[in-house]
Amino acid sequence: MDVLSNIQERLAFISTDPIDWKSLVISFSWSVWAFESYLLIRQYPLYSKEAPPPQLAAHFTPEVFAKSQRYGRDKARFSIVSGFFSQTLDWMLIQYGAQAWAWEAAGKLLHAVGYTGSLEIPQSIFFATILTLMSAIPNLPFSAYNNFVLEEKHGFNKMTPLLFITDTLKGWFIGFVIGAPFLAGFLWIVRWAGDRFIPWLMGFMVSFQMIMVVLYPLVIQPLFNKLSPLPQDELRTRIEALASRLSFPLKHLYVIDGSKRSAHSNAYFYGLPWSKHIVIYDTLIKKTKPEEIEAVLAHELGHWHYSHPSKLLVISQLHLWAIFSVFPPFLRSAPLLRSFGFPADVTANPPILVAFLLFQMVLTPVEAVVGMLMNAVSRRFEWEADRFALELGENDVNQAAGMPDMGERLGNALVGLHVENLSTVWVDKLYSTYHHSHPTLTERLKAMEDYRVRKAKKNPKKEL
């Protein structure tokens, strides 16, 4: 509590000083945009390289490499244009007072439907809906272009225009059905708990996340994809053996029809601590050998072994705590709302959601740095999971049967995924430090090679 009141005392000036928050927010958001564009400019020339890095040369035919370079270049161009567009849109929404307008419109809408009860929560829900649509609708053509022109050109798009439309509408609908009660709970807790809202709000958010982990596969995912049990075959036997060897609480093993939308492939696990589910993309199964998928899952179970999901949850809770502890001075800040053009009757008693939204806009550069740090943590976890798979391979029964070791199989699978997804192989260091949650393919293969060399040195009698 002491730390909290200390922080808030130091920030008390925010509630009173007439700072020009709007100009600050505008300059923050353009700065982040400029930095991200700078990273793209650094990355862009790498798409013109004519050969892959030497470590990967053996894995890429010249045609595949040229294809991946063209795909990377097209994606980079697209993100420069779409990024500039959405940045300009965000800027215009701020510049011309969209937030104040949306708040007033939400109030009028409530009156129009004859609502006379307490206003803040329903008005906030309408306000959030209006603002979300104001930025989502103009971005739709870009999303359509991305699917039907860019991904299509490179052979990844499997979506029909009808599926695109129903996906979008379903997404908005679900966002509203989940978002509205979440927002109501959030606002109610802050009002109810007053200055002591932080622990309550954090408890609420953790419970909400838990509920979503259970509900998502039951209610939401089936609206978009079909999950079917993995058939009884070699792959299933392998994965079950791996899970039982590690005492992984495997409840269900699914194949997901990712190919309905895209040819990109993947695998993941989820669930509560005592009941986990593994999901494999049909696209991955089609293109990868069972023993290589097993190696991919050995990596995934490494994440589980080291409790990476729980660690990420703890980090995100600390992050939330930090945000919430700085929020109260902004919540009381009339100058903040005034600078965004809110009328006097609103600034006199700032609505929680309005203050929180503006506060988040002020935080944009901080959040960019936090995102970069989170990527660093995530990359570290990826190293650990790779390492786990390699160590697991040391006492592997398959090796006796003449099968390549786990490292080689994982390496093959990663290369295969890379080739199939036409992922970029040349990556600018700063670009990947900022954007990437995974180490690059070259880095991962090199680490696996180093591991093999170290092992061979320790165990000189064993043949490689």
Q: Tell me if 411 sits within 8 A of 448, measured CB to CB.
A: yes
Contact string (CB under 5 A) for Zn ion, positions 385-404, x = contact: x-------------------
Which of these ranges, 159-167, 210-218, 276-284, 377-385, lies near Zn ion under the rule CB under 5 A? 377-385
How far is the C-alpha of 79 from the C-alpha of 146, rounded, in Å?
10
Q: Least distance (Å) from Zn ion to the CB of residue 377? A: 12
Provide the residue type at 282 as one letter.
D
Q: Least distance (Å) from Zn ion to the CB of residue 435? A: 16
The residue whose two tokens read 């160590």 is: 391
How far is the C-alpha of 238 from the C-alpha of 267, rounded, in Å?
15
How far is the C-alpha of 403 from the C-alpha of 292, rounded, in Å?
11
Which of these ranges, 76-84, 124-132, 309-317, 384-392, lies near Zn ion under the rule CB under 5 A? 384-392
Q: By C-beta, is 292 or 382 nearer to Zn ion? A: 382
Which of these ranges, 31-39, 63-71, 374-382, 394-402, lies near Zn ion under the rule CB under 5 A? 374-382
Q: By C-beta, is 302 or 351 nearer to Zn ion? A: 302
Query: What are the φ and ψ backbone dihedral angles of 461, each rounded to 5 degrees?
Result: -70, -35
Which of these ranges, 11-19, 155-163, 266-274, 383-391, lies near Zn ion under the rule CB under 5 A? 383-391
Q: Tell me if 58 sits within 8 A of 119, measured CB to CB.
A: no
The residue whose two tokens read 């929020």 is: 327
Q: Tell me if 334 sits within 8 A of 345, measured CB to CB.
A: no
Q: Tell me if 110 sits within 8 A of 93, measured CB to CB.
A: no
The answer to whether the annotation marks 382 as part of a ligand binding site is: yes
Total residues interacting with Zn ion, rule: CB under 5 A: 2
Q: Least distance (Å) from Zn ion to the CB of residue 308? A: 8
How far is the C-alpha of 183 from the C-alpha of 139, rounded, in Å?
24
Q: Least distance (Å) from Zn ion to the CB of residue 441? A: 13
Q: Least distance (Å) from Zn ion to the CB of residue 238? A: 19
Q: By C-beta, is 106 or 284 nearer to Zn ion? A: 284
Q: Is 427 left (phi over 0), alpha (psi -120 to 50) or beta?
A: beta
Residues sharing a CB contact under 8 Å with residue 441, sequence separation 6 or more, in sequence order: 56, 414, 415, 418, 423, 425
How far is the C-alpha of 384 from the C-alpha of 299, rounded, in Å?
9
Q: Tell me if 32 sits within 8 A of 353, measured CB to CB.
A: no
Q: Tell me if 87 sits within 8 A of 79, measured CB to CB.
A: no
How far is the C-alpha of 78 from the C-alpha of 99, rounded, in Å?
28
Which of these ranges, 133-141, 203-211, 225-233, 382-390, lies near Zn ion under the rule CB under 5 A? 382-390
Catalytic residue set = 300, 386
The residue whose two tokens read 């002020």 is: 362
Q: By C-beta, is 342 or 388 nearer to Zn ion? A: 388
C-alpha distance from residue 350 to each of 191, 212, 338, 359 (Å): 12, 30, 10, 12
The answer to whether the annotation marks 303 as part of a ligand binding site is: yes
Which of these ranges, 78-86, 166-174, 352-360, 381-389, lies near Zn ion under the rule CB under 5 A? 381-389
How far is the C-alpha of 239 from the C-alpha of 441, rounded, in Å?
24
The answer to whether the annotation marks 9 as part of a ligand binding site is: no
Q: Least distance (Å) from Zn ion to the CB of residue 401? A: 27
How far is the C-alpha of 308 from the C-alpha of 302, rounded, in Å?
9
Q: Least distance (Å) from Zn ion to the CB of residue 311? A: 13
Three-state secondary-structure class, residue 351: coil
Q: Least distance (Å) from Zn ion to the CB of residue 385? A: 5
What residues does 254 pair with on adjacent strands? 229, 279
Q: How many helices (H) and strands (E) does the chain have?
A: 22, 4
How far is the C-alpha of 97 from the C-alpha of 131, rounded, in Å?
11
Applying CB under 5 A, the residues found at the interface with Zn ion are 382, 385
Binding residues for Zn(2+): 299, 303, 382
Binding residues: 299, 303, 382
